[in-house]
């Protein structure tokens, strides 16, 4: 497939026009969408490295990979975008796979190595950073404190939160397991399940 410049106005988001292919499920909340637009403004050459992928549906170019990028391009007023057009005989199952796989992250980050990177830049580029600061969102008690003071206050706080990140399938399995253990041991919540597990690793 050759990359070609296609007018943004000629591309259509996947809203279910292709028979057998559901509407694109990808969404970006306001803050992430703003970051995507800024990313395209700051580094437009990235579009050459990761083109929009479309399918010619009887003359209508439907975006298979890059629906959020297309929305951002329209809002930014960008007129053309590097595009690859899938062959017309591409099976519907392939179109489904491309739709989902384009937005799935198969890798994990080594968070200890990310310490060498600038956290503000990582956030700006769209990487969600999980850490103690997430516990202080909209918390007036931390206003005006420097980072070390915030950390010290967090570590001495009576209540703390821990974040674990899973894909959808694993998350459902984890919740199901927690619910079973909570019922089996007559515990009040999932936090107590973790404490029970720490007492007895064989529950």
**CATH number of the domain enclosing 72:** 3.90.1530
- Which pLDDT value is given to residue 129? 57
The H or E element that residue 94 is part of is: helix 92-101
Of 80, 76, 77, 10, nearest to 48 by C-alpha is 80
> Is 142 in the same domain as 89?
no
Q: How far apart are CA 27 and CA 33, in angstroms?
A: 9
Query: Is the per-residue pLDDT at 62 higher than 90?
Result: yes
| 146 and 88 together in one domain | no
What's the chain's average pLDDT? 80
Element (H, E) at 123: helix 119-124
106 within domain boundaries: no
Q: Exposed (0-12), middle (13-18) or buried (19+): which is 59, by Cβ within 10 Å?
A: exposed
Distances (CA, A) of 34 to 39, 40, 154, 177, 190: 9, 10, 29, 37, 35
- For residue 56, the model assigns a pLDDT of 95
Segments forming the whole domain that contains residue 78: 3-101
Residues 8 and 81 in one domain: yes
Same domain, 129 and 177: yes
Q: Are residues 167 and 186 in the same domain?
A: yes
> Same domain, yes or no, for 10 and 84?
yes
Question: Residue for token digits 């999932």?
Answer: 190
pLDDT at 60 (0 to 100): 94
Query: Which residue, 66, 101, 136, sits at the end of a domain?
Result: 101
Same domain, 82 and 55: yes
Element (H, E) at 150: helix 147-155
Burial environment of residue 35 by CB neighbours within 10 A (0 to 12, 13 to 18, 19 or more) = middle
Higher pLDDT, 15 or 153: 15
For 136-142, what is the mean pLDDT?
54
Q: pTM surpassing 0.75?
A: no
DSSP secondary structure letters along 63-83: EEE-HHHHHHHHHHT--EEEE
């Amino acid at each position: 497939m050759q990359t070609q410049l296609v007018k943004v106005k000629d591309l259509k988001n996947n809203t279910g026009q292709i028979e057998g292919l559901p509407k694109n499920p990808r969404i970006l909340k306001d803050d992430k969408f703003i970051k995507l637009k800024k990313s395209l403004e700051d580094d437009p050459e990235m579009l050459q490295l990761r083109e929009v992928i479309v399918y010619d549906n009887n003359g209508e170019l439907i975006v298979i990979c890059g629906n959020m990028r297309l929305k951002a391009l329209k809002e930014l007023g960008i007129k053309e975008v590097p595009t690859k057009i899938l062959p017309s005989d591409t099976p519907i199952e392939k179109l489904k796979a491309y739709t989902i796989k384009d937005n799935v992250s198969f890798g994990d980050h080594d968070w200890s190595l990310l310490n060498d990177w600038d956290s503000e830049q990582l956030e700006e580029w769209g990487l969600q950073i999980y850490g103690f600061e997430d516990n202080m969102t909209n918390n007036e008690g931390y206003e005006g404190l420097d980072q070390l003071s915030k950390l010290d206050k967090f570590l001495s706080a009576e209540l703390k939160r821990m974040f674990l990140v899973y894909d959808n399938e694993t998350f459902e399995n984890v919740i199901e397991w927690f619910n079973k253990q909570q019922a089996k041991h007559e515990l009040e919540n999932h936090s107590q399940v973790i404490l029970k597990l720490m007492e007895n690793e064989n529950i």
